[in-house]
Amino acid sequence: MVSIKDVAKQAGVAISTVSKVLNNYPNVSEETKKKVNQAVAELNFVPNSVAAALSSKQSGRVALLLNLGNVSQAVDEINMQYMAGTISRAVALNLDVITIFDSMLKNKSLDEVVRYLRSQSITGLIIFGMSKDDKVLQKLIGAQFFKIVTVDAPLVNASSSAIWIDQAAAQYDVAKKTLKENKGKSILYLAGKKNGYVTGERLKGVQRLAEEEEIPLLVRNGAFSELQARNLTLRYAKKKDIVVCASDLMAIGAMRALMDMDIFRPVCGFDGITLMGYAGKQMNTVRQNFERIASEAVGELKRLLDGGEGRQIVMDYELVRMKYEDILMAAQDKNTGGI
């Protein structure tokens, strides 16, 4: 293994000088720089980041916590986008990313998790979609060892940052659009899990709409799942004009149930997953740019690690209408490489 020492010898300078050149320190003459760079090239020297991390006490290692557990395959697409956004930005900012799934944490004691992260020299955390009262999250916040950026979760403390879209406004918007387009006069709202942060916000949005429009709103909680949505739709859909769902997967369940019942009710969802194109009918939904959100989260974490103050960032969203043909075309565009 060729080390900085060899480079120094080859260039005829001291080790410290090589280090300075490598890290763009001032007070190195152009001539010396040239000598060093030439030696680096000749020896094909690659700095050892482990040694650098030890010496500088800056590991640059960051963990990405993903919540896989809740809605099966639909969430794979979202998580992949989160990951892609996170990782590419992290590489650009020279951070290492260790990915952790919540399922890996389930069997571990919280102390074990903290110990694991600490032993890995992880100093920053990006946490996607975990509820505030999640015990793991609580512990990580309490541990004080990490800078934290949460995505789609409430702000945890003053030294952390949070990134989200305005869930209430988005739910309000998509529901209102669907209501107006169909001249509806009442709403069935499938709200998903009770007590969740995101679900709570979305509920507020549809409630505000119902109040403003002075129309009846029937709210049903349940699991965040397609089957639950199906069952609730079979039971309640006839009584209301439109079905607003807190997630796309539920919207698909609702839409399929309606088709089986052979009655028509407009349905809208939330998230903009590709699966919406396979639901059988077009639906309105809210699309977030998960990749960009993730990228933003990494940037924010870097800022925190560099000593910045915690803050809140609100991202925008977009109302879309998803249909099979669009999915087909979009998939076609991506079709490169291969096995």
Partner DNA sequence: CCGCTATCGGAAATCGTTTTCCAAAACAAT
Partner DNA sequence: ATTGTTTTGGAAAACGATTTCCGATAGCGG
Nearer to its own copies, 84 or 215 (CB): 84
Kindly tell me the burial class for residue 56, based on how many C-beta atoms sit within 10 Å of its own C-beta (0-12, 13-18, 19 or more). Answer: exposed
Residue selected from 14, 23, 41, 54 as contacting its own copies according to rule CB under 8 A: 54
Q: How far is the CB of 241 from its own copies (least distance, A)?
A: 26
In the sheet that holds 317-322, the strands lie side by side as 217-221, 187-192, 242-245, 267-268, 283-288, 317-322
* Residue 16 binding: pick among DNA, its own copies, none (C-beta 5-8 Å cut-off by kind): DNA
Instruction: Print the binding letters for residues 105-134 with its own copies: x by CB under 8 A, - otherwise.
Output: ----------xx-xxxx-------xxx--x
The first and second tokens of residue 86, run together, are 């996170």
Residue whose tokens read 């890996």: 104
Residue selected from 9, 22, 101, 186 as contacting DNA according to rule CB under 7 A: 22
Does residue 304 contact residue 93 with C-beta atoms inside 8 Å? no
**Ranges of H-type helices in 262-305:** 290-305
> Which range touches its own copies (CB under 8 A), out of 82-90, 172-180, 205-213, 312-320?
82-90
Residue selected from 24, 42, 54, 339 as contacting DNA according to rule CB under 7 A: 54
According to CB under 8 A, which residues from 227 to 256 bind its own copies?
227-228, 230, 249, 253, 256
Q: Which amino acid is at 176?
A: K
Residue selected from 27, 29, 73, 144 as contacting its own copies according to rule CB under 8 A: 73
According to CB under 7 A, which residues from 23 to 42 bind DNA?
23, 26-29, 31-32
**Residue 172 within binding range of its own copies, rule CB under 8 A:** no
Q: How far is the CB of 95 from DNA (least distance, A)?
A: 15
CA distance 326 to 321: 10
Cα–Cα nearest to 224, from 204, 201, 253, 187: 253
* Residue 29 binding: pick among DNA, its own copies, none (C-beta 5-8 Å cut-off by kind): DNA
Helix axes 30-43 and 15-22, enclosed angle (nearest 10): 90
> Which range touches DNA (CB under 7 A), out of 11-19, 139-147, 238-246, 294-302?
11-19
**Residue 59 within binding range of its own copies, rule CB under 8 A:** yes
Instruction: Answer positive or negative: Cα dihedral of 280, 283, 286, 291.
Output: positive
> Which range touches its own copies (CB under 8 A), out of 204-212, 213-221, 293-301, 331-339?
331-339
Q: Which amino acid is at 244?
A: V
Q: How far is the CB of 22 from its own copies (least distance, A)?
A: 11
**Residue 188 within binding range of its own copies, rule CB under 8 A:** no
CA distance 197 to 205: 13
The residues, any chain, with a CB within 8 Å of residue 44's CB and separated by 6 or more, are 2
Cα–Cα nearest to 139, from 161, 108, 179: 108
* Residue 13 binding: pick among its own copies, DNA, none (C-beta 5-8 Å cut-off by kind): DNA
Kindly tell me the burial class for residue 218, based on how many C-beta atoms sit within 10 Å of its own C-beta (0-12, 13-18, 19 or more). Answer: middle
Does residue 123 contact residue 305 with C-beta atoms inside 8 Å? yes
Residue selected from 20, 202, 240, 302 as contacting DNA according to rule CB under 7 A: 20
**Residue 97 within binding range of DNA, rule CB under 7 A:** no
Which residues in this chain contact DNA in the complex, by CB under 7 A? 1, 3-5, 12-17, 19-20, 22-23, 26-29, 31-32, 45-48, 51-52, 54-58
